[in-house]
Chains A and B, each alone.
Chain A
C-alpha cells in the first residue's frame, strides 16, 4: 500500500512543481510590461550611454583648432596593441631652437581594445575616450584615424 501512495504522491508532487514553473512563465506572459528589449536604432535619441563608456579614442580640440598633444609618445608606449603611432615633426621655434611637435596622431580603432591605458599615460590629458560606439564601416581603412585635425596647433602653455 505504501508503494502505491508513494507512486501517486510522486505524480502529484511532480505535477505541482511543473505547474509552479508554468506560473512563472505565465506571469511574464500576462505582464508584457516586464519586457526588457530595447529597439536599438529607433531608441537612439533616448539611449543613455554612461559618461565613462569607452567607445573610441578622440582628441578634443578647442574652438580655434588647438589641442593639447605635444607628441611625447607616452600613449604609444602605453598601448598594449600598438594601436597608436605618433608621427612627430621638428620645427624651429622663434628662438632658433629645434622643437618636436606632433604631426600625426594615428589611431587604429580596429586594433584598440579600449583598455584606457593611453588616456592614463598621457601627461597632458590630450586624449579622452568618447561615448560613440557606432563604428561599423564598409572599409577597414576608415578605422585608421588621425586624431589631430588638419592645421591644428598645440595649445599655448602645454609643455612636455
Chain B
C-alpha cells in the first residue's frame, strides 16, 4: 500500500514505523505511528505479513483436515479453535457427542485459556520492562503444555479435537496432573499480583491509560476480556453455552473502567474463574466413549453453519458454507484479534509510545490470528 507523502515540515508531526520487526508487536505487525514528540496522533496498523490464505486452504481440505489448520490461527488458544470447527461440523451432521467428550473439551479449553493468559501475563510484564515476569509466566505455561503433551502428543498445535469427539482418550494420570498443576498454580497466581498488579510503577502505567468505552467496544466488535473490561458482557460461554459450560458455575468477569488496568485485571480474574471451572469438572468426568465414529469422508448437508466459542482473546467464530461436497464451499473465521486490533487507533490516540506498548499488550494480539 502506498503511503501518501504528507509534508511534515509545516506540522510538528513525524512518522515512525513500529514493526514489522519490533520487539513488542509480538510478531510481524507493522504500525505506522504519527507522532508529535512522544504523543501519538494516529496509529495505522498494516497487516498481512503472515497471511497464509488459511481460509482458502480450508476450501480444498476435508473437514478433518481443517482442524489442524485452525491450530495455526491463534496458536495460543488452538484447542478452542479446533473445538469451534468440530462443533460446527457436528452441528451440520446433527450429531451429539458423548458427555465425556464435552467435559474433557471444557477442561482442556480452560487449561488452554490459563496457558494463554499466563503467557500473556509474562509478555505483558516484559513489554512494561519487567522481564522477570516473562519467565514466571512461561513456567506455568510450560506446565500446561506438558499436560497437553501427555494427553494428545503435541505441545502447542494440539489438534486434539476431531469431528465426533477427541483424538485420544485422556491418559490415566490426567486428573492427577491437572490437580497437581492447579495446586501449584493457585500458589503462584498471588505472586503475579505481588510482582505486577500491586506494583506502584505498573499500576501508574496502566490505570487510566488507553480508555475504551463500552460503545466503542461494541462498535469495533471487540470481544473477550478486552471488551469485558469496558463493561460489555460478551462471554460466549455464558451467552451461548457450548460443550459443558451450562453445567458449571462461573462468573463472567466484568469491569467498567475500560482502561489498561481493567483489561489486565479481567484476565487475571479470568484465570481464577478457569481454575474454578476445572475444579468443578475434573472429578466428575463421566465414563463413556471419547469418540463417535464418523464416516471417513464427511459431507455436510447443503447449508450454512456458524459456531462461535470463547477463545482466550474473544469470540472465535467459524462460518462454513457447504454444498454437500467433501470440502466446504467457503470457510470464514471470525478471529477476535482482528476486531480487537481495529480498536487500537481509537484507544491509542493521545497516548505516549510507552502507553501504546501497554495497550497492545492488554489487547493481547496474536498476529497469525489477525492475518490468517
Q: Which of A13, A114, A120 contacts B162 (CB 8 A)?
A: A120
Task: Establish whether residues B198 and A20, one from each chain, have CB atoms under 8 Å apart when the complex forms.
Answer: yes
Q: Which of A36, A115, A129 has the most CB of B within 10 A?
A: A115
Kindly identify, within residues 54 to 97 of chain B, every residue whose CB is under 8 Å from any CB belonging to chain A: 61-62, 64-65, 67-69
A21 and B153 contacting across the interface, CB-CB below 8 Å: no
Contact assessment for B200 and A17 in the assembled complex, using a CB-CB cutoff below 8 Å: yes
A50-B198 contact given A78-B64, A120-B167, CB 8 Å threshold: no
Contacts of B1 in A (CB 8 A): none
Chain B residue at smallest Cβ distance from A53: B153
A25 close to chain B: CB less than 8 A? yes
- Chain B residues with CB under 8 Å of A24's CB are 191, 194-195
Which chain A residue lies CB-closest to B203? A17
B interface residue count range (under 10 / 10 to 19 / 20 to 34 / 35 or more): 20 to 34
Q: Which residues of B contact A78 (CB under 8 A)?
A: 62, 64-65
Cβ of A1 < 8 Å from any Cβ of B? no
Interface residues contributed by chain A, number (CB under 8 Å):
25
Asked if A18 contacts B201 (CB within 8 A), the reply is: yes
Beta-carbon contacts under 8 Å, B156-209 to A: 157, 159, 162, 167-168, 171, 191, 194-196, 198-201
Task: Write out the residue numbers on chain B whose beta carbons fall within 8 Å of the beta carbon of A17.
Answer: 198-200
* With A25-B132, A52-B151 already in contact, 8 other A-B pairs whose C-beta atoms are closer than 8 Å: A18-B201, A21-B194, A24-B194, A24-B195, A36-B142, A52-B149, A52-B153, A52-B168
Closest to B142 in A: A36
Interface residues of A (CB under 8 A from B): 13-14, 17-18, 20-21, 23-25, 36, 50, 52-54, 74, 78, 80, 113-117, 120-121, 129
A78–B162 Cα distance when bound, in Å, is 13
User: Which residues 7-25 of B sit at the A interface, judged by CB distance below 8 A?
Assistant: none
**Chain B residue at smallest Cβ distance from A55:** B153
* Residues of chain B lying within 8 A (CB to CB) of residue A21: 194-196, 198-199
